[in-house]
Chain A
Amino acid sequence: MAMVGLTIDGNKVKVPEGTTILEAAKSANIRIPTLCYLPEVQAIGACRVCLVEIDGNRSLQASCVFPATEGLVVHTNSEKVQQARKFTVELLLSAHPQECLTCARNLKCELQRLAEEMGIREVRFPGAKPEPRIDESTTSIRRDSSKCILCRRCVTVCQEIQQVGALSAQERGFDTYIGPAFGDDLGETACALCGQCINVCPVGALTEKDYTQEVWKAIHDPDKIVVAQDAPAVRAALGEEFGLPPGTLVTGKMLEALRRLGFDIVFDTNFAADLTIIEEGNELLKRVKDGGTLPMITSCSPGWIKFIEHFYPQLLPHLSTCKSPHQMLGALTKTYYAQKAGVDPAKMVTVSIMPCTAKKFECNRPEMRDSGFQDVDYVLTTRELARMIKTAGIDFVNLPDGKYDDPLGEYTGAATIFGATGGVMEAALRTAYEVATGKKLENVDFAAVRGLEGVKEAAVAVDGLGEVRVALAHGLGNAKKLMDRLASGKANYHFIEVMACPGGCVAGGGQPMPVNNEVRRLRAQALYQEDKKLKYRKSHENPSITKIYQEFLKEPLGEKSHHLLHTKYTKRGKYKEH
Chain B
Amino acid sequence: MEIWRSHVLVCAGAGCVSSGCREVRDALVQGIMEFGLQGEVKVIETGCIGSCDLGPIAVVYPEGVFYQKLKAEDARVITEEHLLKGRVVERLLYAEPATTKLIPTFKEIDFFKLQEKIVLRNCGLIDPMNIEEYISREGYESLAQALSRMTPQEVVDVVQRSGLRGRGGAGFPTGTKWRFTQQAQGSPKYVICNADEGDPGAFMDRSVLEGDPHSVIEAMAIAGYAIGSNQGYVYVRAEYPLAIERLSHAIEQARQYKFLGRNIFETAFDFDLEIRIGAGAFVCGEETALMTSIEGKRGEPRPRPPFPAVAGLWKKPTLLNNVETYASIPPIILKGPEWYSQFGTGGSRGTKVFALAGNINNAGLVEIPMGTSLGKLIYDVGGGIKGGKKFKAAQIGGPSGGCIPKEHLNISLDYESVKDVGAIMGSGGLIVMDENTCMVDLARFFMDFIQDESCGKCPPCRIGSKRMLEILQRITQGQGQPGDIDQLIELGERIRESALCGLGQTAPNPILSTLRFFRDEYEEHIKQKHCRAGVCQALFDAPCQNACPADNNAWGYITLISEGKFKEAIAVIKERNPFPATMGRICFHPCEVKCRREQVESPVAICALKRFAADYDLESNDPHIPEVAPKKSEKVAVVGAGPAGLSAAYFLGLKGYPITIFEALPVAGGMMTVGIPEYRLPRKVLQDEIDDILKLGVELKLNSPVTDVEALKTQGYRAVFVATGAHKGLKLGLAGERLKGVLDGVSFLRDVNLGKPVKVGERVAVIGGGNVAIDAARTALRLGAKEVQIFYRRLREDMPAADWEIAEAENEGVKIHYLVAPAQMWGGNGGVKRMECRRMVLSDFDKSGRKRPVPITGSEFEIDVDTVIAAIGQVPDTGSFKGNGFKFDSSGAFIVNPESLATRSPGVFAGGDSVRGPASAVEAIADGQKVAMSIDKLLGGDGSLPNAYRDRLKEMKVSYDEEAYAEERSRVPLPEAPLSDRYHNFKEVEMGYTTRFAVEEAKRCLHCYRQE
Q: Which A residues have a C-beta under 8 Å from some C-beta of B?
A: 44-48, 51, 58-62, 65-67, 80, 83-84, 87-88, 91-92, 94-95, 124-125, 127-128, 149-150, 152, 168-169, 171-176
Contacts and interface: CB of A to CB of B under 8 A. Distances in A.
A60 B459 CA distance: 14
Contacts of A91: 459-460, 463-464, 467
Given A84-B498, A91-B467, A125-B467, A173 B456 contact: yes
Contacts of A152: 457
11 contacts: A48-B498, A58-B497, A59-B498, A59-B505, A65-B303, A91-B459, A92-B463, A95-B463, A125-B463, A125-B467, A128-B466
* 10 nearest CB pairs, A to B: A176-B456, A45-B303, A91-B463, A174-B466, A173-B454, A84-B498, A87-B494, A125-B467, A127-B470, A65-B303
A176 B459 contact: no
B159 to A, nearest CB: 25
Contact of A94 (B303, B467, B499): B467
Given A66-B305, A92-B463, A127-B466, A150 B497 contact: no
Given A44-B302, A128-B466, A172-B454, A59 B459 contact: no
Given A46-B457, A65-B303, A173 B497 contact: no
A317 B497 CA distance: 57
B460 A173 contact: no
B contact face: mostly helix, strand, loop, or mixed:
helix
Nearest to B303: A45
Nearest to A46: B457
Contact of A127 (B302, B457, B467): B467
Contact of B497 (A80, A128, A174): A80
B498 A51 contact: yes
B184 to A, nearest CB: 15
Chain B interface bracket (under 10, 10 to 19, 20 to 34, 35 or more): 20 to 34
B456 A172 contact: yes
Contacts of B459: 47-48, 88, 91-92, 95, 149-150
Given A84-B497, A92-B459, 11 more contacts: A44-B302, A46-B458, A47-B459, A91-B459, A91-B463, A168-B298, A169-B455, A171-B456, A172-B452, A173-B453, A176-B457
A174 B460 contact: no
B500 A45 contact: yes
A168 B487 CA distance: 33
Contacts of B300: 169
A125 B487 contact: yes
Interface string B462-473: 111111001000
B476 interface: no
Interface string B537-550: 00000000000000
B202 interface: no
Contact of B456 (A65, A80, A174): A174
B491 interface: yes
Interface in B499-530: 499-500, 505
B498 A150 contact: no
B207 interface: no
Nearest to A58: B497
B466 to A, nearest CB: 4
B303 A62 contact: yes
B281 interface: yes
Interface in B689-717: none
Given A46-B457, A48-B498, A173 B452 contact: yes
Contact of A169 (B303, B456, B460): B456
Contacts of A67: 305-306
Nearest to B282: A172
A20 B306 CA distance: 12
Nearest to A35: B459
A173 B461 CA distance: 8
Question: Which of the listed residues A45, A51, A65, A173 has the most CB atoms from chain B within 10 Å of its own CB?
Answer: A173
A43 to B, nearest CB: 9
Contacts of A127: 466-467, 470
Nearest to A152: B457
B496 interface: yes
Interface string B256-286: 0000000000000000000000000100000
Nearest to A176: B456
B462 A83 contact: no
A125 B465 CA distance: 11
A48 B499 contact: yes
Interface in B294-319: 298, 300, 302-303, 305-306
Contacts of A92: 459, 463
Contacts of A176: 454-457, 462
Given A172-B454, A174-B454, A87 B465 contact: no
B506 to A, nearest CB: 10
Given A46-B457, A51-B498, A172 B470 contact: no
Contacts of B452: 172-173
Interface string B176-192: 00000000000000000
Nearest to B498: A84
B879 to A, nearest CB: 51
Interface in B316-338: none
Contacts of A149: 459
Nearest to B502: A59
Contacts of B458: 46-48
B303 A66 contact: yes
A87 B487 contact: no
A149 B456 CA distance: 10
Nearest to A168: B298
B460 A125 contact: no
Contact of B462 (A45, A61, A84, A174): A174
B79 interface: no
B229 interface: no
B293 to A, nearest CB: 13
A172 B450 CA distance: 10
B451 interface: yes
Nearest to A171: B456
A40 B45 CA distance: 58
A62 B464 contact: no
Contacts of B305: 66-67
A59 B303 contact: no
A148 B317 CA distance: 35
Contacts of B281: 172
A88 B451 contact: no
Given A92-B459, A124-B487, A128-B466, A173 B451 contact: yes
Nearest to A125: B467
A124 B471 CA distance: 12
A46 B460 CA distance: 10
Nearest to B448: A173
Contacts of B466: 95, 127-128, 173-174
A350 B454 CA distance: 50
A173 B399 CA distance: 15
Contacts of B496: 59
Contacts of A47: 458-459
Question: Which of the listed residues B303, B456, B498, B499 has the most CB atoms from chain A within 10 Å of its own CB?
Answer: B498
Nearest to A177: B456
Interface string B224-240: 00000000000000000
B498 A94 contact: no
B116 to A, nearest CB: 32
A65 B464 CA distance: 22
A83 B494 contact: yes
B500 A150 contact: no
A152 B465 CA distance: 20
A64 to B, nearest CB: 9
Nearest to A92: B459
Question: Which of the listed residues A44, A46, A51, A58 has the most CB atoms from chain B within 10 Å of its own CB?
Answer: A46
Nearest to A59: B497
Nearest to B495: A87
B315 to A, nearest CB: 14
A518 B826 CA distance: 102
Nearest to B298: A169
Contacts of B491: 125
